[in-house]
Chains A and B, each alone.
Chain A
Amino acid sequence: MTDAALPRATAGEPPSLYRAVPAVLALAKLVLALATVAPLLFMLSVTFKNQNEIFTMNLIPEKPTLDNLTYVFTQVNFLRYLWNTFFVAATVTIVALFFHSMAGYALARLRFPGRDAIFLAMFSTFLVSLPVIIVPLFILVKALGLLNSYAGLIIPSIFNAFGIFLLRQFYLNVPREIEEAAVIDGAGYWRIYWSIILPLSRPMLAALAILFFLANWNAFLWPLTITSDENLRVVQVAVASFQGQYTASWNYIMAASTVVALPTVIVFIIFQRQIMESIKTSGLK
């Protein structure tokens, strides 16, 4: 960063060449970045192409058409799938943030026997991934009578150690004086949590809300396993099943993919700073 401020071109290199290097590097970076997003641009482009144009190299369709999108929304009940996905993802996010902030607060701030053991036990489920426990989880959820239900889609997705861990970490860094004032006023734990801790953690909760919503919007394996009822279908499962039905109709499949991906990409464009910042800091600290 200081390079620009302190010109070093004193050793006698040809200055024009020296100055050209950063420009070339910048150009190379930009080309790489464009190549990275190219597959997504291609998806968007096919969404508006006719079937006979799918494999042409031009990014802008020669005869743009809305037929593919119309097909997706009229031939299958895509609006229903979108609503199902939104409902499940939003419910999981809200309930999870509520539970995780409660647990995070208690684990960071209250003293009770077994606290560290409970935290360690919770944290160890970090290593448990869905594919590994999918068989027993399926049997368990089926035994609870939640097969083919919203509850079956929602409840098991609520609990994850990642959110608890991050919120606990956050609360450990909140100055104690803020609570102490409330304690002197005679406020109970619930009131401290509700009217002091929760408002304080708004930025953290917002970042986690985005991450949770995205993760649940994009979830595939669990909805695939736990639901077969068409009325409960979520978009990812719907798009994946499109593939079996319309093997060569890539224009329909890409149109459906665009509809599914667009909300998450828009969320990303709006909140990119928060999303990338929260992932960056979740790494090690």
Chain B
Amino acid sequence: MSEAMSRPSSTPAARKAAGFRFSARHREWIAGYLFVAPDAIGLFVFAGLPMLLALGLGFFTLDGFGGFQFSGLANYRRMFVDPLFLQSLKVTLAYVLMLVPSLYVVGLALALMVQKGSVLNAVIRSMFFLPQMVSLVVVALVWQVLLVDKIGLVPKMTGFLGLGGLSWLGDPDLALVSVVVVSVWFLMGFYMLIFLGGLQDIPREYYEAARMDGAGYFAQLRHITLPLLRPTSFFVLLVSTVAAVAGGQAFDLIYVMTKGGPANSTSLAIYYIYQQAFQYNEYGYAAAMASFLVLLLMAMTLLLFVLTRGGRFNYD
């Protein structure tokens, strides 16, 4: 690479060889900038800049052919009277409220179940994690077949419980629940691993001491495991909420499995925004809605930090 990168050290020999142009300190600076440059520039152009543009684009009306016109707050005003956008916010909220607690409970339960090291547990752990390896497109397709009305395997099996008549993806009251169940099935292995990581860090002596005091399994869970898992819990809640609101996984699932239907009952905000942009060429409007969503997320993250006193946790 460059001259600066090839002569860093502060040994006299190296200093002499590099001449008098840069001191060792400056050579280290230049090397640092050069090493960081590819990623720094790339991240700025393909993540930072689009984020800034998203905020700005909302003030314009764009057509599909590169023409644009300043339209002030029109896009922002429009979204608060757009019943479909408001509906999509409601769907997003319902999705978060159902998915995040379910993932927390299922992820933690699975982790506790397979926590001990044994061959059987290692195999079971891998089996719980396996759905994560499959793309959401495939996940959505497989579950669509499983949920086909009446003849699909799920209606057939729930038929024994008298639930065979349910239309899992066709009933507007049920479709979002189905999406949540599939999301949990797909994501639970990931959160199981995160919880396993957290459980690993709890010193074994605590449990031994508690057992000496005669504490049973549930007492240990309540007084040792859960309090000491608080940092992990915080991470899980934050990540799963952000992913539920703005993650690509939720989008893929909806796009393939329900297309937002029936009757917009599974039209998450990110799906509605995508539709507005790429089906109706409403790029400016879509950008305005997207920046509103980011604002909501930031407010929520802030709230979570405040509620947990800056993500810090006291253990007593």
Contacts and interface: CB of A to CB of B under 8 A. Distances in A.
Contact of A250 (B8, B49, B145, B287): B145
Contact of B138 (A187, A261, A279): A261
Contacts of B8: 183, 187-189, 192
Contacts of B47: 125, 128, 133, 159-161
Nearest to B121: A29
Interface string B274-302: 10011000010011001001100100010
Contact of A122 (B39, B120, B190, B231): B39
B135 A190 contact: no
A224 B251 CA distance: 12
B227 interface: no
Contacts of A36: 127-128, 130-131, 185
Given A100-B39, A132-B54, A132-B246, A155 B142 contact: no
Contacts of A121: 40, 43, 48
Interface string A38-59: 0110110010000000110100
Interface stretch (A61-69, A70-78, A109-117, A200-208): A109-117
Contacts of A184: 9, 11
A150 interface: no
Contacts of B251: 131, 221
B29 A140 contact: no
Q: Chain A CB within 10 Å — which of B45, B243, B293 has the most?
A: B45
Say what secondary structure dominates the interface of chain B: helix
Given A110-B31, A127-B242, A186-B13, A243 B156 contact: no
B11 A183 contact: yes
A196 interface: no
A250 B28 CA distance: 60
Interface stretch (B77-85, B109-117, B163-171): B109-117
Q: Chain A CB within 10 Å — which of B27, B141, B151, B185 has the most?
A: B141
A284 B54 contact: no
A134 interface: yes
A135 interface: yes
B142 A217 contact: no
B93 to A, nearest CB: 17
A111 B47 CA distance: 25
B290 A135 contact: yes
A129 B242 contact: yes
Interface residues of B, number: 102
B5 A159 contact: no
Contacts of A110: 28, 31-32, 35
A254 interface: yes
A184 B10 CA distance: 8
B72 interface: no
Contacts, number: 298
A86 interface: no
Interface in A84-119: 99-100, 102-103, 105-107, 110-113, 115, 118
Contacts of B294: 132
A103 B242 CA distance: 26
Q: Chain B CB within 10 Å — which of A34, A99, A267 has the most?
A: A99
Given A26-B120, A36-B130, A189-B5, A99 B247 contact: no
Q: Chain A CB within 10 Å — which of B11, B27, B197 has the most?
A: B197
A158 interface: yes
Nearest to B294: A132
A195 interface: no
Contacts of B70: none
B185 to A, nearest CB: 7
B129 interface: yes
Contacts of A284: 194, 197-198, 231-232, 235
B232 A283 contact: yes
Interface string B167-211: 000000000000000000100001001101110100000001000
Contacts of A156: 46
Given A55-B151, A159-B39, A260-B138, A137 B50 contact: yes
B133 A264 contact: yes
A236 interface: yes
A265 B287 contact: no
B54 A136 contact: yes
A32 B121 CA distance: 12
Contact of B1 (A29, A103, A190): A190
Contact of A29 (B10, B29, B31, B114): B114
Contacts of A136: 49-51, 53-54, 57, 287
Given A128-B48, A136-B49, A139-B62, 9 more contacts: A112-B28, A129-B247, A132-B51, A190-B6, A218-B136, A220-B137, A240-B141, A260-B135, A283-B194
Interface of A: 1-2, 26, 29-30, 32-34, 36-37, 39-40, 42-43, 46, 54-55, 57, 99-100, 102-103, 105-107, 110-113, 115, 118, 121-122, 125, 127-140, 155-156, 158-161, 164, 183-184, 186-193, 214, 217-218, 220-221, 224-225, 236, 239-240, 243, 250, 253-254, 257, 260-261, 264-265, 267-268, 272, 276, 279-281, 283-285
